[in-house]
Amino acid sequence: MNCRFCNNELTIEFIDLVNSPPSNSNLTKKELNEPEAYFPLKIFLCDKCFLVQIDEYKKSDEIFNEKYAYFSSFSKSWLEHSKKYVDMITKRLKLNENSFVVEIGSNDGYLLQYFKKLNIPCLGIEPTLNTAAVAKERGIDVIEDFFGVRMVKELSLNTKKPDLILGNNVLAHVPDIKDFVRGLKLYLGESGVITMEFPHLMQLIENNQFDTIYHEHFSYLSFLTIRSIFEAHELELFDVDQISTHGGSLRIYAKHKEDETKEKSRNVQDLLNLEISKKMNTIEYYKDFQKKANKIKYKLIEFLIKQKKENKKVIAYGAAAKGNTLLNYCGIKQDLIEIVVDISPYKQGKFLPGSHIPIVNESYIKEIKPDYIIILPWNIKDEIMKQLEYVNKWNCKFVIPIPKMEII
Ligand SMILES: [Zn+2]
C-alpha cells in the first residue's frame, strides 16, 4: 500500500491497535445478538512526507451511514468554541450580508447557526442525513453529499463562490485527502479564505492520545505535512493558530497562491521551526508510540481489576468515538465498567460497539452512586467534572486515563 499523498510505499508501522468495530456505530439491543463487524486498525507513517495514515479504509459511505450518531450541539464547550470562531472570523474577514460562507461537515448546524444570526448567507455540506435534517430544521441550507472534486463540479455554473470555506475535524476524516484539497482549490472564491481545524499530530504523540485513532479518522497531520499537501494544490497557508480543542488542534488559514491581498503571519514560520526542532521530519520522532499506548492500557486494566476485587462500582462517562478505541484496545467489557452515561438521547438505550456497555442517561449516576467515573472524552473533562460536581457528596472520584492515569 502506498501513501495517500505522495504515493511512496508505506513500510513503517506507527501503531497497531489490532482491530475494532466502527467507532460511531452504537448497537441496538437486537443487534447484540448479531455478528459484529471488526476492521483492522493499523496506522502507518510515510517516511517521505510524514503523513501518518490508516492502512486500509472502509468505504466512507459504510461508515457515515444513518447510524452516525454524533451531534455536535450536545457539547456546550464545542458550541462556545464555534461561536467564538464565528465572531473572530467575521471581524477578521469583514464578512457581511453580501458574503458567502460554506462549512464542510456542517453536522447539525451547530456552527452555521451563528452566521445565520448575523445574517451572513451560508451553506452546509454534510453527508449524514440525520444530522443534516436537524440543521435544515434550524433553517440552514444543506447539500447532503461528500465534499470533493465531483461535488464541486456538479454545482451549477452560476453558483456563488465562497468567501470563506471552513471545516472543523473534517480534513483528517476524509479518505481521499488529495481530492478534498483539490475540491477546495476549485471551489474557493478568488480572494477567499479556507480555515480548517484538525487535531495536531504533535499533541497526539506527546500526550499519548492513541484513543483518537479510529476508522473514521484517516490522516494524522503535522503542520509540515498539511502545508505540503496544500502547496501541491496551489494553496498557501498564510496563518495558523494552535488551539486547545480535542487535546490540541491546529487551525490553518489558506488562500489561493495567486492571491496577493493577504499578509503572511509569523505564526507559520514559528510553527514550522517548532516541528523541525522536534524532528517531526525524521522517523525517530514517531518511534515507541505503541509502547506508550501499551503503558496506558496496562495501567487502566490494572486499576479496573483492583476495583473489581474490592467490590467498587465503576462507570464511564461519554459514549464518544475515542472512548471506544480505548475500551476495545484494552479489551474492557461490561464486567469491568457497568454503564456509560451520555447526555445525547440518540445514544441512550443503545450499546457501545465491541464492549457492549449499555449507554444510559445521567439519572443513573444518582441511582447507582458509583465509586469511580472514568471520563472517556478527556478533552472536555473540566466541563464534565463541573456538570457532575454533585457526586462529591458520596465521595465518588473521577478517573482520567489519558495522557496519563489520573484520579481526581
Ligand atoms: Zn507520503
Domain 72-286: CATH superfamily, name plus number: Vaccinia Virus protein VP39 (3.40.50.150)
Q: What angle do CA 303, 304, 307 make, to 5 degrees?
A: 90
Per-residue pLDDT for 221 more than 80? yes
pLDDT at 298: 97
**CA–CA gap between residue 115 and residue 260 (Å, rounded):** 27
Q: At what angle do helices 223-231 and 177-187 cross, to 10 degrees?
A: 60
Distance from the alpha carbon of residue 238 to the mean position of ligand 1, in angstroms: 23
Q: Picking from 62-76, 84-98, 295-309, which range would have the lowest pLDDT averaged per residue? A: 62-76
pTM: 0.92
Residues 174-190 pLDDT 10s: 989 999 999 999 999 99
Q: Tell how far the Cα of 230 is from the centroid of ligand 1, in angstroms.
A: 14
Which residues contact residue 215 at a Cβ distance below 8 angstroms, ignoring those fewer than 6 apart?
20, 22, 23, 39, 41, 54, 57, 58, 63
pLDDT, residue 25, reads 82
For residue 364, what pLDDT band results from cuts at 50, 70 and 90?
very high
CA 237 to ligand 1 center in whole angstroms: 19
Mean pLDDT computed over every residue of the chain: 93
How many angstroms is it from 55 CA to the middle of ligand 1?
12
* 44 C-alpha to ligand 1 centroid (Å): 10
278 Cα: distance to centroid of ligand 1 (angstroms): 19
φ, ψ of residue 49 to 5 degrees: the values are -110, -5
Instruction: Give distance in angstroms: CA of 229 to centre of ligand 1.
Output: 10
Q: How far is the CA of 50 from the centre of ligand 1 (A)?
A: 6
How much is the pLDDT for 11? 95
58, 57, 63, 110: which is closest to 82 by C-alpha?
110
Residues near ion ligand 1 (Cβ under 5 Å): 3, 5-6, 8, 46, 48-49, 51
Question: Per-residue confidence at 58, pLDDT binned at 50, 70, 90?
Answer: low
CATH homologous superfamily for the domain 302-407: NAD(P)-binding Rossmann-like Domain (3.40.50.720)
81 alpha carbon to ligand 1 midpoint, in Å? 32
Predicted pLDDT at 72: 72
| Ligand 1 centre distance from Cα of residue 146 (Å) | 24
C-alpha of residue 180 to centroid of ligand 1, in Å? 16
Query: Is 80 exceeded by the pLDDT of residue 157?
Result: no
Ligand 1 centroid distance, CA of 319 (Å): 33
- pLDDT band of 6, cuts 50, 70, 90: very high
Judged by average pLDDT, the poorest of 66-80, 82-96, 207-221, 295-309 is 66-80
Kind of pairing, strands 101-104 and 122-125?
parallel
Question: Among 368, 373, 371, 406, which residue's Cα sits nearest to residue 388?
Answer: 373
Residue 8 CA, ligand 1 centroid: distance in Å = 5
Q: How far is the CA of 216 from the centre of ligand 1 (A)?
A: 20
Residue 364, C-alpha cell as written in the block: 443513573
In angstroms, what is the span from residue 5 Cα to ligand 1's centroid?
Answer: 5
Going from the Cα of 258 to the center of ligand 1, the distance in angstroms, rounded, reads 26
**Set of cell numbers at residue 373:** 467515573
Q: How far is the CA of 9 from the centre of ligand 1 (A)?
A: 8
**Structural domain boundaries in the chain:** 72-286, 302-407
Same fold, 72-286 and 302-407: yes
Residue range 254-283, pLDDT digits in tens: 999 999 999 999 999 999 999 999 999 999
Confidence at 382, pLDDT banded by 50, 70, 90: very high
CA–CA separation, 392 vs 241, rounded Å? 37
